[in-house]
């Protein structure tokens, strides 16, 4: 359900930029978020389609840059991308790991507009 709040905030930002930059139509909205940020692209798309009606963003395509889950292993002294979050290092199997990427919040990166 948080997708509705996120999309409303996104549309407010787009409207704000439309006033400042004088564009009439949005073609593409580029977004980024971490894989573990509990954001579901399909839900975002659905909320966007429903809420963007009769705004400058109606009909625009959402593009997602989904940032990977990255853990840092203190024993191996390096960062590793992992498919699913786990508190175990895939290399040394040690448990002294820190999650350093993957939970980044939803950001709007770029708009393609006319």
Partner 1 sequence: MKVSVVKNVLDANDRIAMENRALFDKNKIYVINLMSSPGAGKTTLVERTIEALKDKYAIAVIEGDIQDTCDADRVAKLGIPVVQINTGGACHIDGNMVREALPAFNLEKLDLLLVENVGNLVCPAEFKIGENTKAMILSTPEGADKPAKYPRMFQESTVMIINKADLLPYVDFDMERARRDARATNRGINIFEVSCKTSSGLSDWFRWLEDQIESFKKLNP
**Which listed residue (12, 15, 65, 79) binds partner 1 by CB under 8 A?**
12
Residue 76: CB atoms within 10 A of its CB come to: 15
User: Which part of the chain contacts partner 1 (CB under 8 A), choosing from 47-55, 59-67, 81-89?
Assistant: 81-89
Binding mask 20-49 for partner 1 (x = CB under 8 A): -x-x-------x----xxx-----------
113 binds partner 1 (CB under 8 A): yes
Distance separating alpha carbons of residues 112 and 21, to the nearest angstrom = 12
Cβ closer to partner 1: 52 or 97?
97
User: Which part of the chain contacts partner 1 (CB under 8 A), choosing from 49-57, 58-66, 75-83, 99-107?
Assistant: 99-107
93 binds partner 1 (CB under 8 A): no
Residue 54: CB atoms within 10 A of its CB come to: 7
Q: Can you give the C-alpha Rg of the chain in angstroms? A: 18
Distance separating alpha carbons of residues 111 and 30, to the nearest angstrom = 6
87 binds partner 1 (CB under 8 A): yes
User: Which part of the chain contacts partner 1 (CB under 8 A), choosing from 45-53, 55-63, 75-83, 102-110?
Assistant: 102-110
Name the residue with tokens 């960062």: 79
- CA angle (35 as vertex; 31, 37 as ends), nearest 5: 80
């Amino acid at each position: 359900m948080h997708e509705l709040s996120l999309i409303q905030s996104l549309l407010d930002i787009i409207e704000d930029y439309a006033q400042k930059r004088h564009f009439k139509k949005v073609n593409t909205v580029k977004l980024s978020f971490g894989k573990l940020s509990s954001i579901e692209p399909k839900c975002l798309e659905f909320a966007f389609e429903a809420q963007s009606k009769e705004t400058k963003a109606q009909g625009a395509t959402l593009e997602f840059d989904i940032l990977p889950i990255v853990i840092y292993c203190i024993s191996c002294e390096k960062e590793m991308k992992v498919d699913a979050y786990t508190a175990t290092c895939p290399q040394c199997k040690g448990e002294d790991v820190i999650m350093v990427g993957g939970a980044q919040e939803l950001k709007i990166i770029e708009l393609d507009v006319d």
